[in-house]
Amino acid sequence: MDNRRIPLHNTGQEAAKILSRLLSSLPAASFEMETFAKLAGVVASRRIPTAAVECTHRPRLLINPDFVQQFCVRDEHLFLLVMHELWHVLLAHTSLYPRVTRAQNIAFDAIINAGLMQHFHTPEYMGFFDKLNPPDKFPHLLLRPPVGWPNNPQYPDDAGPTGTGRILRQLYPPPATRRRSMPFYDEILELIKQDMRDHGIDPDAEPMLLGDHNADNGYKNTYLKDVMGRIIQKWPMQNIPGQMPGQGGRLGDWQVDPFIAAQPTRQAFANVLRLALKHNPGNFRRKERLPIPGITGQGVLPNPRDRLMPARRLLGAPTTLWAQQGSIKARVPEQRVQAHVYLDVSGSMSRTLPYLINLILPFVAQGKADVFQFSTEVEYLPLNSLKQGLVRTTGGTQINCVLEHLLKYEGRIRRVLIVTDGYTGRPLPQHLQRLADNGMKVYVVLPAESPYEEDLRDLAASVTVLPPLG
């Protein structure tokens, strides 16, 4: 919604009751509590259908009390409603497209609802999304867990266009699934558009969408984006069971299946990698003139390294002059230039990481790049692990661990590439100053699916947003 104040039709008693219920459901010491604390207050309003964030300088959370009474039977259901709206702000959905369509709104809600349920799938949270949409009607079934999920999911076989089952299994994977990969927005959009082409748009079949889907809702508010951007860097990794919310847990393995990115994306990545390589000497065929130790002439100073002196003595030749050691320039094989690539392996990268791994792999195999994986720690990523899609991560994200690692190479590394979704937190001023003093340039690569530039704007010599990965 826009930045103008909305006329409110509520009593303070209704708002106080909603706030009390919400506070009792918030997980303590978690990113949800921190997110909620950034809001100035909760206001009950019947001018909105479900919930919305009023994006003024002091943002407020607006909630429809009638919707809460009908659908939020448990306090945990009220919590899911609020978190759904906050995730819209965190992901800046309405800023991705000039004019948000019905299909895009459904895709946004499908990703958010699935993400929330992967975090909160214990019995007290179950049932909220189930009430809002039926499990056997398309596209409604994309906005809720399948019947019986997560222990015994029953996926409908005859609902929706071809590919619905696959997308539904990605959103709500079966139990004991080790490799999880959320679908892209574009995949869900194409599915919905195919259904529209097959059956047309039925105005009476509109699914229940939560939150505010107004394209002009003020989510570009600088203050709110900054607050939410700092919070999202602390998200846990959604695809590893057992991870608790926070700033990353213990370092652990995470295996993803590498996917092949589209040709325009591969070409764009190759172009930006050349910036970090400076130039490509080929297969060590070129040579360059470099100073090496050698004989620069003769002189009277004795030189024990003059190997011809014993022969001159035996031959009776003059021994007054000795070969003098010095530095001469000679053509030697040019050393291959390698780029340092830092790959974000935090939880928010779960959808794009399979494609990005495959983008980097050819350059590592050719010896053109060394890859380091980072979350809240930095580790070298060997070629064999990269081929298998095996990374190590704490689940959180922090850019300053990258800069501290990079500064260990002062004088040896001039250009580096950071591949991330942008939700990294902001670099410390002292790190930025040291990079500038040493002439280090950092090039940032962002996927089109998550082009968040705010955190790294002061660090990057350039920011490249890749074409769509899929």
Range in 179-188, 232-241, 411-420 with the lowest mean pLDDT:
232-241
Q: Do 327 and 341 share a domain, yes or no?
A: no
Reply yes or no on whether the pLDDT at 443 is more than 70: yes
Q: Do 299 and 353 share a domain, yes or no?
A: no
Question: Which letter, b or e, does each residue of 59-82 get, where b requires 16 or more Cβ atoms within 10 Å of its Cβ?
Answer: bbbbbbbebbeebbebebbbbbbb
Q: Do 277 and 308 share a domain, yes or no?
A: no
Q: Do 26 and 145 share a domain, yes or no?
A: yes
> What residues contact 328, with CB distance under 8 A and at least 6 apart?
291, 292, 293, 294, 295, 296
Report which of 211, 209, 207, 170 is spatially closest to residue 187, judged by C-alpha positions: 170
Report if residue 314 sits inside a domain: yes
**% of the chain residues with pLDDT over 70:** 73
The three-state secondary structure class of 143 is helix
Cβ pair 91, 112 in contact under 8 A: yes
Q: Given this model, what pLDDT does residue 220 score?
A: 47
Report if residue 269 sits inside a domain: yes
Sole residue written with tokens 């950071």: 418
Cβ pair 458, 426 in contact under 8 A: yes
Q: Is residue 430 very low, low, confident or very high in pLDDT (cuts 50, 70, 90)?
A: very high
What average pLDDT score do residues 466-470 get? Answer: 82
Reply yes or no on whether the pLDDT at 205 is more than 70: no
256-265 pLDDT, tens per residue? 767 777 888 8
Q: Given this model, what pLDDT does residue 305 score?
A: 78
Report if residue 233 sits inside a domain: yes
How many structural domains is the chain composed of?
3
Q: Given this model, what pLDDT does residue 90 score?
A: 63
Q: Do 436 and 319 share a domain, yes or no?
A: no
317-364 pLDDT, tens per residue? 888 888 887 777 766 555 554 678 999 988 778 778 888 888 888 888
Report if residue 455 sits inside a domain: yes
More confident residue, 123 or 251: 123
Q: Given this model, what pLDDT does residue 147 score?
A: 92
Q: Do 369 and 238 share a domain, yes or no?
A: no
Highest mean pLDDT among 49-63, 166-180, 343-357, 365-379: 365-379
Q: Do 88 and 212 share a domain, yes or no?
A: yes
Report if residue 258 sits inside a domain: no
Report H helices in 350-397: 353-365, 383-388
Q: Do 130 and 186 share a domain, yes or no?
A: yes
3-19 pLDDT, tens per residue? 344 444 446 788 888 88
CATH number for the domain that contains residue 393: 3.40.50.410
Q: Do 108 and 198 share a domain, yes or no?
A: yes
Range in 54-68, 151-165, 323-337 with the lowest mean pLDDT:
323-337
Report if residue 319 sits inside a domain: yes
When the pLDDT of each residue in the chain is averaged and rounded to a whole number, the result is 77
366-394 pLDDT, tens per residue? 888 889 999 888 999 999 888 888 888 87
Q: Do 112 and 218 share a domain, yes or no?
A: yes
Angle at 452 between CA 465 and CA 367, to 5 degrees: 50
Cα–Cα dist 224/55, whole Å? 7
Q: Do 91 and 200 share a domain, yes or no?
A: yes
Reply yes or no on whether the pLDDT at 419 is more than 80: yes
Report if residue 130 sits inside a domain: yes
User: Containing domain of residue 295, as a range?
Assistant: 287-333
Cα–Cα dist 216/195, whole Å? 27
Q: Do 211 and 95 share a domain, yes or no?
A: yes
Report if residue 5 sits inside a domain: no
